[in-house]
Structure 1
Amino acid sequence: MEGVSVLEWIGTLPFAVAIRRSAILYLFVNAAHVLSIGLLVGAILPLDLRLLGFFRKVPVEVVGPFLSRAAATGVGLAIITGFCLFSVRPLEYAGNAAFLTKITLLALGITNALLLHLTPQWRAAVKGGPLSPRVRLSALLSVAIWTGAVLSGRWIGFLSE
Structure 2
Amino acid sequence: MEWLAPLGDSFVARALIRSPTLYIFANASHILSLGMLLGASVILDLRLLGAFARLPLNDTAIVLSRVAAVALACAVVTGALLFSVRPVEYAGNTAFLIKILLVLFATANALAVKRSRGWHTMTQGAPVTAPLRFSALASLFLWLGALLAGRWIGFL
TM-score bracket, shorter-length normalisation:
over 0.9
Equivalence map 1:4-83=2 (5 Å): 5-83=2-80
Q: What is the match of residue 133 of structure 1? A: 130
Contact kept in structure 2, 1:116 and 1:138, CA below 8 Å: yes
**RMSD (CA atoms):** 1.2
Q: Structure 1, residues 35-79: CA drift from partner, whole Å, max 9, x if none?
A: 000110111110000000111121111111110000011110000
SS of aligned partner of 2:14: helix
- DSSP 3-state at the match of 1:26: helix
1 CA distance for matches of 2:2 and 2:98?
22
Q: Runs of 5+ in structure 2 lacking a partner?
A: none
Whole-Å Cα distance in 1 between the matches of residues 154 and 126 of structure 2? 44
Per-residue deviation, 1:5: 5.0
Distance 2:48 2:114 in 1: 13
Find the aligned partners of 1:29 and 1:89 in 2 and give their Cα distance. 14
Does the CA contact (< 8 Å) of 2:40 and 2:65 recur in 1? yes
Moved >6 Å (runs of 4+): none
Structure 1 residue 6: deviation in Å? 3.8
TM-score w.r.t. the length of structure 2 is: 0.97
Q: Structure 2 CA distance, aligned partners of 1:11 and 1:53?
A: 46
> Cα offset for 1:23?
1.2
With the length of structure 1 as denominator, give the TM-score of the two structures. 0.94
